[in-house]
Amino acid sequence: MIFPLARKRTKMSLKAFHLIFVTLLTALSFGFTAWAFTNGHPMMGALGIVAAILVIYYGFYFLKKLKKISYL
Protein backbone atom coordinates (compact mmCIF):
# COMPACT_ATOMS: atom_id res chain seq x y z
CA MET A 1 0.00 0.00 0.00
CA ILE A 2 1.45 3.33 -1.03
CA PHE A 3 -0.46 5.59 1.36
CA PRO A 4 -1.28 3.60 4.50
CA LEU A 5 -1.93 6.67 6.69
CA ALA A 6 -4.37 8.18 4.23
CA ARG A 7 -6.64 5.19 4.61
CA LYS A 8 -6.72 5.51 8.38
CA ARG A 9 -7.40 9.20 8.79
CA THR A 10 -10.84 10.81 8.67
CA LYS A 11 -11.84 11.48 5.11
CA MET A 12 -13.88 14.61 5.67
CA SER A 13 -17.05 12.57 5.51
CA LEU A 14 -20.61 13.52 6.29
CA LYS A 15 -20.43 11.53 9.52
CA ALA A 16 -17.45 13.59 10.75
CA PHE A 17 -19.17 16.84 9.79
CA HIS A 18 -22.33 15.65 11.51
CA LEU A 19 -20.42 15.08 14.75
CA ILE A 20 -19.05 18.63 14.59
CA PHE A 21 -22.58 19.87 13.98
CA VAL A 22 -23.96 17.92 16.95
CA THR A 23 -21.16 19.25 19.19
CA LEU A 24 -21.91 22.85 18.22
CA LEU A 25 -25.64 22.26 18.60
CA THR A 26 -24.99 21.05 22.15
CA ALA A 27 -22.98 24.20 22.87
CA LEU A 28 -25.79 26.31 21.41
CA SER A 29 -28.38 24.52 23.55
CA PHE A 30 -26.41 25.29 26.72
CA GLY A 31 -25.78 28.87 25.62
CA PHE A 32 -29.46 29.32 24.80
CA THR A 33 -30.41 27.94 28.24
CA ALA A 34 -28.04 30.39 29.96
CA TRP A 35 -29.40 33.28 27.87
CA ALA A 36 -33.02 32.33 28.61
CA PHE A 37 -32.58 32.12 32.39
CA THR A 38 -30.55 35.33 32.64
CA ASN A 39 -33.07 37.24 30.53
CA GLY A 40 -36.20 36.11 32.34
CA HIS A 41 -37.50 33.43 29.96
CA PRO A 42 -37.82 30.33 32.19
CA MET A 43 -39.94 28.40 29.66
CA MET A 44 -37.33 28.89 26.98
CA GLY A 45 -34.65 27.93 29.49
CA ALA A 46 -36.49 24.67 30.16
CA LEU A 47 -36.73 24.10 26.41
CA GLY A 48 -32.97 24.69 26.17
CA ILE A 49 -32.26 22.08 28.87
CA VAL A 50 -34.52 19.53 27.17
CA ALA A 51 -32.85 20.29 23.82
CA ALA A 52 -29.38 19.91 25.34
CA ILE A 53 -30.28 16.53 26.89
CA LEU A 54 -31.81 15.30 23.63
CA VAL A 55 -28.85 16.45 21.54
CA ILE A 56 -26.34 14.85 23.92
CA TYR A 57 -28.34 11.61 23.96
CA TYR A 58 -28.54 11.67 20.18
CA GLY A 59 -24.81 12.40 19.92
CA PHE A 60 -23.88 9.37 22.04
CA TYR A 61 -26.44 7.22 20.22
CA PHE A 62 -24.89 8.32 16.95
CA LEU A 63 -21.36 7.59 18.19
CA LYS A 64 -22.49 4.12 19.31
CA LYS A 65 -23.89 3.49 15.85
CA LEU A 66 -20.62 4.68 14.38
CA LYS A 67 -18.74 2.01 16.31
CA LYS A 68 -21.13 -0.76 15.39
CA ILE A 69 -21.54 0.04 11.74
CA SER A 70 -18.24 0.15 9.95
CA TYR A 71 -19.53 1.56 6.66
CA LEU A 72 -20.53 4.75 8.40
Which residues of this protein are in contact with other proteins, per CB under 8 A?
A: 1-3, 6-7, 9, 11-15, 17-18, 20-21, 24-25, 28, 31-32, 35, 39, 41, 44, 47, 51, 55, 58, 71-72
Question: Smallest distance, Å, CB 64 to other proteins?
Answer: 14
Question: Smallest distance, Å, CB 32 to other proteins?
Answer: 7
Residue 24 or 53 with smaller CB distance to other proteins? 24
DSSP string of 6-67? HHHS----HHHHHHHHHHHHHHHHHHHHHHHHHTT-HHHHHHHHHHHHHHHHHHHHHHHHHH
Residues 6+ positions from 15 with CB-CB distance below 8 Å: 66, 72
Question: Smallest distance, Å, CB 67 to other proteins?
Answer: 15
